[in-house]
């Protein structure tokens, strides 16, 4: 009886998981593109540009945890650290580099 109760307590809602992930992705997508434009306007090169990406990514993710998750990310994500900081890292890096190089070439 206890085992089945525990089992049912651990069921997660796929609808909520999908909804939360889509909101996080929306924030990361928009900010990484605009921060990439900023890096291009500042004409940053090599390590400085990637440094700006890492700083902006961590800043936005932390702000998401504090503001949107209200310091309780485990309530909204299955694996908070992985879901918030690592799942969309490569995707956002690609977006950032694309807008960075585009703006850099346009202004330089």
Write out the residues near another protein by the rule CB under 8 A.
Answer: 8-9, 11-13, 15-17, 19-20, 23, 27, 30-31, 34-35, 37-38, 41-43, 56, 59-60, 63-64, 67-70, 75-78, 103, 106-108
Phi, psi (deg, nearest 5) at residue 13: -90, 115
**Dihedral of alpha carbons 13, 14, 17, 20, sign:** negative
Cα atoms in the 13 Å half-sphere on the side-chain side of 98: 10
Looking at the Cβ atoms of 23 and 91, the one nearer to another protein is 23
Nearer to another protein, 11 or 90 (CB): 11
**Considering only CA atoms, which of 108, 103, 88 is closest in space to residue 29?**
88
Closer CB to another protein, 43 or 94, in the complex? 43
Minimum distance from residue 90 beta carbon to another protein (Å): 21
CA distances from 39 to 42, 55, 56 (A): 5, 12, 11
Would you say 12 or 90 has its CB closer to another protein? 12
CB of 67 to another protein, least distance (A): 5
- Report, in Å, the least distance between residue 2 CB and another protein: 16
DSSP three-state, residue 28: helix
């Amino acid at each position: 009886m206890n085992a089945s109760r525990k089992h049912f307590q651990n069921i997660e809602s796929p609808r909520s998981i999908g909804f939360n992930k889509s909101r996080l992705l929306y924030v990361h997508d928009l900010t990484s593109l605009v921060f990439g434009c900023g890096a291009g306007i500042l004409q940053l090169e090599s390590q400085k540009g990637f440094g700006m990406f890492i700083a902006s990514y961590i800043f936005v993710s932390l702000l998401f945890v504090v503001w949107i998750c209200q310091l309780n990310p485990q309530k909204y994500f299955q694996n908070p650290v992985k879901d918030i900081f690592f799942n969309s890292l490569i995707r956002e890096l690609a977006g950032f580099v694309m807008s960075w190089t585009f703006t850099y070439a346009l202004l330089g």
